[in-house]
Structure 1
Amino acid sequence: MTADDNAEESLRLVEEHLTKAIRDPLRAELDSAPILDPWWFVVDTDGYTLLIGKVSGHPILRGPLKRS
């Protein structure tokens, strides 16, 4: 795969995710969505607002956060 192919695929994925983000979620998407509970919002030192909490049901994230 060339760099151009990677860029095109990246743009395709961004477009796909943005298209999903501008519509209401489907019931099946909500039923399979990861859960963040309990959660809190915090503002970091750069002024960004973050949601933090315990994630369950995520397809990639597993176990507790390990800090380096």
Structure 2
Amino acid sequence: MAKLNISLPDSTAEALRESAQGNVSAEINRAVLQRLADKEMRRIAAHEKANPPKHSDADLLRIGMGMPL
């Protein structure tokens, strides 16, 4: 497991300590994972906007059920 040193404004550090309920590392880990997930979702959304699907969700459902379009 990696160990990191970070610097935060005093007010942010105090709010983090209060929010973390004794486990600052876990609180930071959750926040970082959420941030990474958010960035990935934005990347996927941008890709889908630039490359719209060829079929609608209803079409995909019909295809999956073996029905003609």
Identify the TM-score tier after normalising by the shorter chain.
Answer: 0.3 to 0.5
TM-score (norm 1): 0.37
TM-score (norm 2): 0.37
Greater percentage in strand: 1
Larger RCO, structure (CA 8 Å, separation 6 or more): 1
Greater percentage in helix: 2
